[in-house]
């Protein structure tokens, strides 16, 4: 599950994709970035790849993704803008108040995704 943050949404849920727990987040990055133009893409080290950086720049966006600690050719990123990523972590903290989500009571991905969307809408309307 990934959230995207821009100035307009202030850390609220825009898009989410439910994947198995053992799946890498990077596999869903192209789907999440579809339609994102002219903005900063703030992500954690799990999204650090040169292919993804190229795709983000092709969409006229600026990647703000720190390199992995073992990167052979580390790149520069705007650390000041990266501090805004705390809004995503705050969103994850907020959804943990909904016991049904953090305990994963729903067995099907469809029901879990539906309730996640409901919680995202409730938090958006707060």
pLDDT for position 7: 44
pLDDT band at 18 (very low <50, low <70, confident <90, very high): confident
Closest CA to 55 of 41, 70, 72, 68: 41
Lowest mean pLDDT: which of 69-78, 96-105, 113-122?
96-105
pLDDT for position 65: 92
What is the SS3 assignment for 63? strand
pLDDT band at 6 (very low <50, low <70, confident <90, very high): very low
pLDDT band at 4 (very low <50, low <70, confident <90, very high): very low
40 phi and psi angles, rounded to 5 deg: -90, 135
pLDDT for position 9: 60
The structure's pTM equals 0.77
Tokens matching residue 16: 């989410």
Average pLDDT (93-112) is 86
Q: pLDDT tens across 24-47, in order?
A: 878 888 888 888 888 888 888 888
pLDDT band at 60 (very low <50, low <70, confident <90, very high): very high
Q: Cα(72)–Cα(68) distance, rounded to whole angstroms?
A: 9
> Helices H, strands E: what count in the chain?
6, 2
Residue with tokens 């949404």: 9
Would you say residue 95 has pLDDT above 60? yes
């Amino acid at each position: 599950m990934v959230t995207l943050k821009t100035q307009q949404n202030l850390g609220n849920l825009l898009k989410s994709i439910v994947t198995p727990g053992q799946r890498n987040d990077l596999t869903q990055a192209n789907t999440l970035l579809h339609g994102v133009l002219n903005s900063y893409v703030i992500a954690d080290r799990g999204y650090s790849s040169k292919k993804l950086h190229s795709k983000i720049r092709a969409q006229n966006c600026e990647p703000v993704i720190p390199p992995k600690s073992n990167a052979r050719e580390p790149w520069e990123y705007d650390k000041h803008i990266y501090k805004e990523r705390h809004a995503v972590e705050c969103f994850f903290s907020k959804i943990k108040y909904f016991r049904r989500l953090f305990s994963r009571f729903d067995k099907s991905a469809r029901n879990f995704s539906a309730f996640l969307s409901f919680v995202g809408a409730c938090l958006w309307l707060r």
